[in-house]
Each structure stands twice: as structure tokens, then as C-alpha cells.
Amino acid sequence: MKKRYLITFGVVLFILILDQAVKIWIKTSFSYDDPSIALIGEWFRLNYVENQGMAFGTQLGGGMWGKLLLSIFRIVAIIAIVYYILKQIKKPEVKLEFLIVSGLVLAGAAGNLFDSMFYDLMFPTYFDPCISYNQVEGSGIWEDCTYYGYTEAVEVRHRGFLFGNVVDMFQFYAHWPEWMPYLGGKQVFPAIWNIADAAISVGVILVLFRQKVYFPKQ
């Protein structure tokens, strides 16, 4: 039983540390307007950006309340996943592989929540009102932004605990063949993502494809 706890939460801790190490390095070493960097050929690139929403930059509403609701949803989801994993660990019939997969989802959710909770507090000087991902129409918070010597007031997002952006950096830069109808020439997967997003995706995909193994019928 102890071994199952150590392995499951060891995986969670490893993913969390790796995710945060990469994010902090990216945030403190790259700028928004830096060109993307080829990591593997031209199809897998590093492209720094931040988003105010969920995995792969998707949104849950807009403005202060949408962001706050999203952060609260993440907290509730993480508590529920931890409770579920703790119950499953105690069941000897539950496979260790399933516990590890559940740990991937937990680590991914916690990794992105950490950004929202603490990055505005950890990196206050990195906030730039002129960058699009820091601007929210209707926020009521105005700051001056200078574009090419011209200054104008822009509405920026709320900042502080639970309001931070999530840091993303990886992008597949592959395109569908031109001969394909509707999809020809478009990017196969245009979203920019991070290690936490990847952990959630891998965990969910494994549960879907191996559900007969994880949940055998009695």
C-alpha cells in the first residue's frame, strides 16, 4: 500500500516540478515578441505565450468572473481528484497503472492552477499592458500603453491571487496536405501548450483507450 502512495504521488510531484521549472525558465528568459525556436526540425517549436483560460488556451467566460470561476473550478476539481485517488489506492484490485494515469491528470490540473494562483505575485514586474494576453475589454482597469511612440489607455486584466495567466510554450507546426478538402494547408494542431496540458491529455486519452483494463466488468 505504501509503495502505491509513493509511486502515484511521486509521479504527481515529478510532473509538477518539471512543469514549473520549464514555465519559470520560459517566463524569465523569453519575451512575447521573441521568434519561435525549432526544437525538433520545423514541426515542433518553442513559442512563448500566455493565456487567461484553460488547457490549450481555451476560455471559460471572460473578464474577472470568468477567470475567478475557472480558478475555483480547478481547485474543486483537484480536491475531488485527490479524494478519488486516495480511495482507489486502498483498493487492491485497482491497477497501479490507473493510479499513475490519474496522477497525470492531477499534476496537470495543479500545474496550471499554480500559475493562476502565484505568478502575478511572483513576477509582478513582468506584467506588460501592451501585450494582448494581458488585455481584457470591459475590465474597467485602464493603464497606459505605448505603441511606436504613441501612448493610449488600454483595459487590462485583473491581477493577483487566482488571476494569473498560464504560461504556454510548445507548438506542433505541421500542416494538413493541400489536397485535403476543408483542412488543406491548415495547421494540424494550432494550439500552444505546456507540460501540464500534455499530462492531462495523456491521462484522459489513456483512460479512454484502456477503460476495459482499468474498469473490468465483474
Buried b (16+ CB within 10 A) or exposed e, 174-195: eeeeeeeeeeeeeeeeeebbbb
Question: 499554480: which residue's cell?
Answer: 114
User: In the 3-class helix/strand/coil scheme, how is 142-158 assigned residue by residue?
Assistant: EEEEEECCEEEEEEECC
**Active site includes 168?**
yes
For 62, phi then psi, to 5°, come to -145, 165
Helix 96-122 to helix 2-29 angle (10° resolution) is: 30
One of 19, 115, 120, 168 is an active-site residue; which one?
Answer: 168
**Active site includes 34?**
no
Secondary structure (3-state) at 168: strand
Asked if 96 and 4 touch (Cβ cutoff 8 Å), the reply is yes
One of 19, 115, 120, 197 is an active-site residue; which one?
Answer: 197
Distance in angstroms (rounded) separating the CA atoms of residues 69 and 175: 35
Catalytic amino acids?
168, 197
